[in-house]
Amino acid sequence: MEVPILKQGAFLIATFQAALSDADLNQLRLGLVQQVVKYRSQAVIVDVTAMDVMDSFASRTLREIAHMIRLRGAETVIVGIQPEVAFAMVQLGLTLEGVATALDLEEGLAYLLQKFKNID
Amino acid sequence: MSKREITLKDSGPRSNPTVDLARSEESTELLRELVAHLRQNRTQLREEWVLRISETRLLTAMTKEEIFAEATSVYDSYVEALETEAFEALQAYARNLSERIIPRGVETHEVVGIVLLLRDVLARSLFAKYQTDFKKLNRILDAYEPAANRIANTVAVGFVQERERVIRQQQEAIRELSTPVLQVRERLLILPIIGVIDPQRARQLTEQLLRGIRTNRAKVVVIDITGVAAMDLTVANNLVQTVEASRLLGATVIVTGLSPEIAQTLVTIGVDLGKMNTVGDLQGGIEQAERLLGYKVEKLAEPR
């Protein structure tokens, strides 16, 4: 399954689809970092609004993606986690610790703009 | 049909169906007879019952007129239940009666008490009527007692069921009252918690908060637990989970109002407090929230 990745200035926006298989996620892990390298992006927004379940593999993959992207000096923000999904995740102990999160795409962009404005 | 005309297959050594059927026929006859007697003597039996009720100081929450009115309908329903053996109807009546008298402050022991008093009053009148024919009195009582016991049981159960329904309703109402999620500034929500949090309520709280964060696009939430007396491990973990889940939706949580007892509990239990952002009281929490959101509050004039 192809995950659309859009370029928005210095940022990349990846929109995860509803039913991503483990194979899809594995491909994404490497693929996203490759895109960061290719476009010299400063941050990636991963939009999971369409995901109505998040299992431990998906959660772990997201954390790994964020860590890998950080090794390239870039930031990752996960946006669009649904209330029910968030509730289920914390009950399973999947807290996405160390990864920035925001309510939705708009908030994610605002967060990044704020952050990079301060660095300048 | 007389006893001799009934021919039934032999159902084995346990019982003699011929005799059983005959016995139940006879008991129906006797029941009819005693119901007639109870109807005939309705007025004085009811009065005697009401007198006994006030003697034993039951139904003190009701006026004499109310007692009389309810007594009349209870008496009639009692006798009708004896006659028709329609106990579902009686139970419905009992629940209906309970719905009326529970708000008046009538208690379970009073309802059971008055039904048993009525049972006694009617039994005594049967003793009086059949005192010259001991055998017949015995048979009448054989017919009366199971039915009377069942009536007492049915009414008591109906009353208790109604009470339980009221309690459930009140619990629901309390639950709904107690967890409002309030927006006090743009992007700032307050969740004041009062009373006892059980796991179910904690879950409801979390779900409500997460929905509120999404609807109001909140960036900061202040959860105030000044009104919570105590917290156990499960609820403490629920609180931590609420904080974590809120973060996944991009909101920061500030917990305020931890009592000394709860502070001690949390430290003793070993809850990971690094995950929790806490401030002493609600005022402090709101002030910090405003700072986080970029507000500055300035006093321009004295209160008028």
User: Could A107 and B210 be called an inter-chain contact, meaning their C-beta atoms sit closer than 8 Å?
Assistant: no
Asked if the structure places residue B70 within a domain, the reply is yes
Residues B35 and B156 occupy one common structural domain: yes
- pLDDT > 90? residue B223: yes
Q: Give the pLDDT band of residue B143 (cuts 50, 70, 90).
A: confident
- As a whole number, mean pLDDT of residues A73-85 equals 95
Residue B14 confidence class, pLDDT cut points 50, 70, 90: low
- Indicate yes or no: CB of A102 within 8 angstroms of CB of B206: no
Regarding whether B232 and B120 lie in a shared domain, the answer is no
Task: With respect to residue B298, please indicate whether it lies within any of the assigned structural domains.
Answer: no
Taking each helix axis from N to C terminus, what angle separates B42-55 and B64-84, rounded to the nearest 10 degrees?
130
| Closest chain B C-alpha to A101 CA, distance in angstroms | 5
- B11 plus B68 within the same structural domain: yes
Q: Let me know whether B73 and B138 are in one domain.
A: yes
Across the interface, whether the CB atoms of A103 and B241 are under 8 A apart is answered no
Read off the pLDDT of each residue in B47-73 and give the average, rounded to a whole number. 87
* Phi-psi sector, B248: left (phi>0), alpha (psi -120 to 50), beta: alpha
The verdict on residue B301 lying in a domain is no
Average pLDDT, rounded, for chain A: 91
Does position B64 have pLDDT exceeding 90, yes or no?
A: no
Q: Which domains does chain A have, with CATH numbers?
A: 5-119 (3.30.750.24)
Look over chain B and give the mean of its residue pLDDT values, rounded to a whole number.
85
State mean pLDDT over B98-115. 87
Which pLDDT score is estimated for A1? 64
In a domain, B304, yes or no: no
pLDDT above 70 covers a percentage of chain A that reads 98
- What CA–CA distance (Å, rounded) separates B5 from A16? 85
- Domain finish residue from B109, B144, B172: B172
Taking residues B26-46, report their average pLDDT.
Answer: 87
Assess if residue B262 is contained within a domain.
yes
Interface of B with A in 247-286 (CB under 8 A): 247-251
Asked whether the predicted pLDDT for residue A120 surpasses 60, the reply is no
Secondary structure E strands in chain A? 5-8, 11-15, 43-47, 75-79, 100-102
Number of domains observed in the structure of chain B? 2
B15/B89 same-domain check: yes
Collapsing DSSP to helix, strand or coil, B298 comes out as: coil
Task: From B172, B199, B223, give the residue that closes a domain.
Answer: B172
Note whether A95 contacts B214, CB cutoff 8 Å: no
* pLDDT-derived band at A78, boundaries 50, 70, 90: very high
- A90-99, B1-10, B145-154, B191-200: least confidently modelled range: B1-10
Tell me if B113 is assigned to some domain.
yes
Q: For tokens 């990636």, what's the residue?
A: A44
* Beta partners for residue B191, in sequence order: B223
List CB contacts (< 8 A) between B214 and chain A. 82-83, 103
Q: Which residue has the higher pLDDT, B281 or A119?
A: B281
Give the mean model confidence (pLDDT) for residues B23-43.
Answer: 84
Same domain, B98 and B29: yes
Contacts of A111 (CB under 8 A, 6+ apart): A77, A100, A102, B250
Do both B127 and B273 map to the same domain?
no
Q: Are B13 and B157 contained in the same domain?
A: yes
pLDDT category at B237 given cuts 50, 70, 90 is confident
Residue B152 has pLDDT above 60, yes or no: yes
Angle between helices B199-216 and B233-248 (to 10 degrees): 20
Measured in angstroms, the CA of A9 and the nearest CA of chain B are apart by 23
Distances (CA, A) of B152 to A114, B55, B301: 74, 20, 72
CATH number at residue B254: 3.30.750.24
Strand order in the sheet with B182-185: B182-185, B188-194, B220-227, B252-256, B277-279
Does some domain include residue B120?
yes
pLDDT: is B11 or B261 the higher one? Answer: B261
Chain A contact for B199, CB < 8 A?
no
DSSP label at B189?
Answer: E
Clarify whether residues B168 and B30 are in a common domain: yes
pLDDT at position B227: 87
Last residue of a domain, one of B172, B196, B216: B172
| Residues of A with Cβ-Cβ distance to B246 under 8 angstroms | 86
Q: What is the pLDDT of residue B171?
A: 80
- Quick check: A96 and B250 CB within 8 A? no
Between B210 and B280, the higher pLDDT residue: B210
Q: Is the pLDDT of residue B80 over 70?
A: yes
Residues B104 and B233 in one domain: no
User: In the prediction, which pLDDT does B15 show?
Assistant: 55
Task: Note the pLDDT tens digit of each residue in A16-55.
Answer: 988 889 999 999 988 999 999 999 999 999 999 999 999 8
Percent of chain B predicted with pLDDT > 90: 29
**Across B183-198, average pLDDT:** 89
The answer to whether the Cβ–Cβ distance between B249 and A96 falls below 8 Å is: no
Q: Identify the CATH number of the domain in which residue B120 sits.
A: 1.10.490.70
C-alpha to C-alpha distance for B159 and B95, rounded to whole angstroms: 6
Contact B207/A87, CB-based, under 8 Å? Answer: yes
Q: Which residues of A touch B250 (CB under 8 A)?
A: 79, 101-104, 107-108, 111
Q: What is the pLDDT of residue B179?
A: 67
Do B159 and B246 sit in the same domain of this protein? no
CA gap B240, A97 in Å, rounded: 13
Rounded CA separation B170/B278 (Å): 33
Q: Which range has highest mean pLDDT (A27-31, A101-105, B90-94, B146-150)?
A: A101-105
Band (pLDDT 50/70/90 cuts) for residue B11 is: very low
Structure-model confidence comparison of residues A32 and A2, the more confident one: A32
How far apart CA A48 and CA B24 sit, in angstroms, is 73
pLDDT tens digit sequence for B224-234: 999 888 888 88
Under the banding of pLDDT at 50, 70 and 90, the label for residue B32 is confident
Domain that holds residue B212: 182-293
Exposure on the CB side of residue B235, measured as CA atoms within 13 A: 20
How large is the average pLDDT for residues A65-82?
94
* Contact assessment for residue B191 and residue B147, using Cβ atoms and an 8 Å cutoff: no
Asked if the structure places residue B276 within a domain, the reply is yes
Interchain contact B206–A (C-beta under 8 A): yes
What integer pLDDT is reported at residue B245 of this predicted model? 95
B159 and B62: one domain? yes
Using the predicted structure, report yes or no on whether residue B2 has a pLDDT greater than 60: no
Provide the shortest C-alpha distance from residue B236 to chain A (in Å).
13
